[in-house]
Amino acid sequence: MIDTHAHLSKRFCSKPIVEGIRVVLAASNIEDSRENIALAKDNSKQFLASVGIHPQQTDPENQKTIEAQVKELEEIVKQARGQVFAIGETGLDFSTAGEGEATRPKDAQIILFGRQIELGIKYQLPLIVHSRKSMDETLDFLEKYPKARGVIHCYTGGKKRIDRVVGLKSEWFFGIDGNLTYEDGLAQVVAAIPKERLVLETDSPFLAPIPHRLETNRPEYVKYVYEKVAQIWQTDLAKTENIIDANAKKLFGYK
Ligand SMILES: [Zn+2]
């Protein structure tokens, strides 16, 4: 089992202890990116580091320009070659920023996303794409980069955009979270996603699945998402695990 998206840096998680499963550590800013690499260095069997800058979670202290931040990100990737497994989360978010976040204007988000896509292509790393209230714009944009590949994290494009994602020139996966355990509509979407394109995630500490809903989410809870997928696919958990884990291996290229 692998949780392909969790936030375990200090500002999200007091103790990054995870039992038994692998975790892709998602980053939202430069600081998270550095922390993820340090966490993965200490525990490379369990953690795979991602580095990236979220479209909305701007760091108010950080006065650096987008270009300077992306340069810094590239330096991190260069220095930690072989230890970085993905670029992200990056993407577009046209929702109103939440508490502790600042709104980054659309045009700045587009530049930031484009630069990170280019990094992914240059260093042959998959992208972890965050898309909120912007799925069509995100897909329009990804179509301009046929060499880019990765995962649409916490996929919210419904049944109607599955073909668009599958039709992108390089291979793209759908990341599905714990809300699958309580959103019937999402179960129908998952049933329509090609089996070989599905990966599962928690987005810890957010989006905890039933039976832990409204609690702090933990990577181990991804098992409830696997169980729900097994139920949707009408197969057993072991077969489900084989398929999903093979997809995650293909996506992130870990051994
Ligand atoms: Zn996330």
How do residues 74-94 score in pLDDT, each as one tens digit? Answer: 999 999 989 999 999 999 999
Q: Say how many Å lie between the CA of residue 72 and the centre of ligand 1.
A: 21
Query: pTM of the full predicted structure?
Result: 0.95
H-helix or E-strand containing 173? strand 172-176
At 38 the pLDDT is: 96
At 101 the pLDDT is: 64
Task: Tell me which residue of 154, 207, 216 sits closest to 15, measured CA to CA.
Answer: 216
60 pLDDT exceeds 80? no
Per cent of the chain over pLDDT 90 is 85
In the numeric block, which tokens belong to residue 215? 């609690």
| DSSP label at residue 208 | P
207 pLDDT exceeds 90? yes
Mean pLDDT of 143-156: 98
| DSSP label at residue 202 | -
Q: Which residues are in the CB-under-5-Å shell of ion ligand 1?
A: 26, 203
In the numeric block, which tokens belong to residue 182? 């309580």
At 14 the pLDDT is: 79
Q: Report yes or no: 21 and 220 within 8 Å, Cβ to Cβ.
A: yes
Cα separation, 28 vs 137, in Å, equals 20
Q: Say how many Å lie between the CA of residue 83 and the centre of ligand 1.
A: 19
Q: Say how many Å lie between the CA of residue 38 and the centre of ligand 1.
A: 19
Domains of the chain: 2-252 (3.20.20.140)
At 19 the pLDDT is: 79
At 61 the pLDDT is: 64
Cα separation, 201 vs 207, in Å, equals 10
Q: Say how many Å lie between the CA of residue 64 and the centre of ligand 1.
A: 23
Q: Say how many Å lie between the CA of residue 6 and the centre of ligand 1.
A: 6
Mean pLDDT of 230-240: 98
How do residues 107-130 score in pLDDT, each as one tens digit? Answer: 999 999 999 999 999 999 999 999
Q: Say how many Å lie between the CA of residue 27 and the centre of ligand 1.
A: 7
Q: Report yes or no: 208 and 214 within 8 Å, Cβ to Cβ.
A: yes
Q: Say how many Å lie between the CA of residue 16 and the centre of ligand 1.
A: 15
**pLDDT grade for 143, boundaries at 50, 70 and 90:** very high
Q: Say how many Å lie between the CA of residue 191 and the centre of ligand 1.
A: 23
How do residues 12-38 score in pLDDT, each as one tens digit? Answer: 887 777 878 999 999 999 999 999 999
**pLDDT grade for 59, boundaries at 50, 70 and 90:** low
In the numeric block, which tokens belong to residue 71? 């340069």
- Bridge partners of residue 84, in order along the sequence: 49
